[in-house]
Amino acid sequence: MPLKISEHQLQRFESLYKKYKTMYQDPARSRPLFLINVEQEPLNDWHKRFEDPALMLQRELESLETHLLLEDDYTPTVRVQFGTVQVAAAFGTELDIPPDNYPTYKDHILKSRQDIARLEEPALNTPLLQKLAAFTAYFKEHLPDGIHIQHPDIQSALNTAHILRGTAVFMDFYDDPAMIDKLLDIITAYMIKLVPYLKKMISNDREWFFDWGGLWKGRARISNCSAQMISPELYTAHILPRDIQLMHAIGGGRMHYCGTSYAVIERFFENPLISAIDFDGSVHDLFQIALKAPDRTILFTGGRYNDALIQKLLAGEWPAKRNLVLKVTVPDIKTGKKVLNQLRQKAATAYNN
């Protein structure tokens, strides 16, 4: 049966969008929001989804059902799931389509620094981007009312350089920093052109975008997972200027970081147009990061319901920072309802609202 969104849910969504915007626009008046992920048996049909927009859309809509049932703070959104290699594929990376996960890459195409020297900026009509446009058009035609499309995954200049060059990229910072800067500049320039192209494909909203269940200020997410492999000083010298250039060109956005190194996180906050950052709450201390984060920068983290962080929050200990998004994984709907209600009650008590 096709997913139908009730009038009650549509009204709830409008209220939810206002709450997300308040977290950035007026953080002192905001409150934490909660995304409850109920564990599901994996469906190993990713290779089929990659060839069938109807199946991909079906799976995306199915993933919303528990959120609608729980009425958590997950926005009603779907994504054309082409994985983390879409920008790298534009530069020529060959895709690998596993049955049990997103598309990935077969090999690193920049075997030498001479290959970097010959690299040229690709067009916007590459085969994978044409396929993305076709899938997106299908989604838009068949989406139920009230459901939005998330921004495609574009990674970042650093992450894409890592995909294109492999681990040799980290030696390049020392052996030929001028060449790595050239590579980062080419990728950044392409992303500056790509983001408006993608944004126009999925939405007319120039100020906000949907991603990972939330609504965020800006136009795209960048992912700097590979920043854990370099020093904060190298990030500041080589990556931060390109990240700032990109964010200024596109109108801001948010950042994903799944790395384990804490030292670089504070450098991320030097980018004035990063509206939110997500990180692994089982590795990094939310309370420590909340003390360093700018007021308007939303912190997005979480873990399993029985992890130390979630248990700490359930015990009534909360950071002073209010604009938080917490993603909590639970084994079933019953646990999800209980944890969601408890977190909302504890947050209301902590922030007196």
Predicted confidence at residue 42, as pLDDT, reads 87
Residue 101 belongs to a domain:
yes
What single letter denotes the amino acid at residue 180? I
Residue 1 belongs to a domain:
no
DSSP 91: T
What is the number of H-type helices and E-type strands within the chain?
A: 16, 12
> Is residue 126 within 8 Å of residue 134, measured between CB atoms?
no
The domain tally of the chain equals 1
Output phi, psi for 216, to 5 deg. -130, 150
- Residues 224-283 have pLDDT tens digits of 999 999 999 999 999 999 999 999 999 999 999 999 999 999 999 999 999 999 999 999
**Ranges of the chain whose pLDDT falls below 50:** none
- 83's tokens: 């994985």
> Is residue 321 within 8 Å of residue 351, measured between CB atoms?
no
Sheet holding 220-223, edge to edge: 33-38, 324-330, 298-304, 274-278, 253-256, 220-223
- 166's tokens: 């492999």
Predicted confidence at residue 151, as pLDDT, reads 96
Predicted confidence at residue 262, as pLDDT, reads 94
Residue 2 belongs to a domain:
no
Predicted confidence at residue 195, as pLDDT, reads 98
Residue 156 belongs to a domain:
yes
Residue 239 belongs to a domain:
yes
Predicted confidence at residue 235, as pLDDT, reads 98
Residue 87 CA to residue 100 CA, distance in Å, equals 21
- 174's tokens: 């020392």
Tell me which residue range forms the domain holding 250: 7-351
Predicted confidence at residue 219, as pLDDT, reads 97
Predicted confidence at residue 66, as pLDDT, reads 97
3-state helix, strand, coil in the chain (%, to 5): 50, 15, 35
Element (H, E) at 276: strand 274-278
CATH of the domain at 111: 3.20.20.210
Residue 181 belongs to a domain:
yes
Predicted confidence at residue 353, as pLDDT, reads 67
**Residues recorded for the chain:** 353
Residue 259 belongs to a domain:
yes
Residue 321 belongs to a domain:
yes
Q: What is residue 298's three-state secondary structure?
A: strand
Residue 156 CA to residue 83 CA, distance in Å, equals 13
pTM of this structure? 0.97
12: left (phi over 0), alpha (psi -120 to 50) or beta: alpha
